[in-house]
Amino acid sequence: MTYLNLVNGVLRRLREDEVTSVTANTYSKMVSDFVNDAKDLVETAWDWSALRSTLTITTSADDNLYSITGSRSEGKVLNLINDTSNLEMTYETQNWFDNKEYIQEPVTGAPQYYTYSGVDGNGDCQIKIYPTPDKAYTLRARVVLRNIELSANTDTLAIPSAPVLHMAVALLARERGETGGTSTAEYFNIADKHLSDAIALDAQKHPEETIFYTP
């Protein structure tokens, strides 16, 4: 479903005229903003298969701070694999790392632990790893990357469109104080139903992951 299809889908459900462009008028621009708001809500509700990707990091000796290039600041790391050593790395807190770095004796070797360490100058997620590498290692990060905002009429969603459409309807109905016909609360209930159904369907691709979604 294109961006324009989504905007017109919202307009029809709220008894408004369709448009030929998402920027056709002030109201369609507001609807398009709510569609992007809904997209953000749905994208962050679950680690969608369509948003999953794999990024690699090559370490160097005596450096423990690395950027996950392409992850962007909102990227979520699902897991981190040290391919060179054939092991899954374990997440630890920044306090744990501070204890290892500043209190205990420094250790070098195959990286086994990681923690988040802000973003770099390009806006990509940074991580610290421990032990500090003693040579080059290849690390593989499985990440979830939210898509950029929809902008052109023909832009399409990677995630299921129904939850986004119905969430946008609910958000806009709340904004304008919708009381006639379907209530705002009912719109949100419909959106939540579409979202939970879509998550349940996508979760079948990842049976090893336990899902808890509460509208």
DSSP string spanning 58-75? E--TT--EEE-TT--TT-
Residue 213 domain flag: no
Which CA distances in Å does 150 have to 40, 142, 160, 209? 10, 24, 14, 29
Q: What pLDDT band is residue 25 in, cutting at 50, 70 and 90?
A: very high
pLDDT score, position 178:
64
In a domain, 75, yes or no: yes
176 and 98 in a common domain: no
Amino acid at the residue 45: A
pLDDT score for 205: 80
In this predicted structure, the answer to whether residue 109 has a pLDDT above a threshold of 70 is yes
pLDDT number for residue 181: 61
- Which pTM value belongs to this model? 0.83
Dist. CA 112–CA 173, nearest whole Å: 49
Boundary (domain end) residue, out of 99, 114, 144: 144
Per 3-state DSSP, the chain is made up of helix, strand and coil in percentages (nearest 5) of 35, 20, 40
Give percent of the chain with pLDDT exceeding 90.
78
User: What's the rounded Cα separation, in Å, for the pair 45 and 200?
Assistant: 12
pLDDT in tens, 110-156: 999 999 999 999 999 999 999 999 999 999 999 999 999 999 999 99
- Give 116's strand partners: 127
> What are the strands of the beta sheet with 87-88, ordered from one edge?
52-58, 138-144, 76-82, 87-88
Of 74 and 194, the one with more pLDDT: 194
Domain count for the chain = 2
In a domain, 150, yes or no: no
**pLDDT tens, residue by residue, 37-89:** 999 999 999 999 999 999 999 999 999 999 999 998 888 999 999 999 999 99
**Tens-digit pLDDT profile for residues 49-63:** 999 999 999 999 999
Q: What are phi and psi of 127, to 5 degrees?
A: -130, 150
* Torsion on CA atoms 198, 200, 201, 202, rounded to nearest 10: 80
Does residue 184 carry a pLDDT above 90? no
Regarding whether 62 and 101 lie in a shared domain, the answer is: yes
d(CA 191, CA 164): 8
Compute the distance between CA of residue 164 and CA of residue 24 in angstroms, rounded to an integer: 21
Domain termination residue (choose one: 144, 169, 190)? 144
Q: Of 1-10, 161-170, 173-182, 199-208, which gets the smallest average pLDDT? A: 173-182
Range of the domain at 38: 3-48+159-203
Higher pLDDT, 207 or 12: 12
- Band the pLDDT of 106: cuts 50, 70, 90: confident
DSSP secondary structure of 100-148: IIIISPP-BSS--EEEEEEE-TTS-EEEEEESBPSS--EEEEEEE-PPP
* Residue 27 covered by a domain: yes
SS3 12: helix
- What pLDDT does 61 receive? 97
Most confident of 12-26, 175-189, 199-213: 12-26
Q: Over the chain, what is the mean pLDDT? A: 92
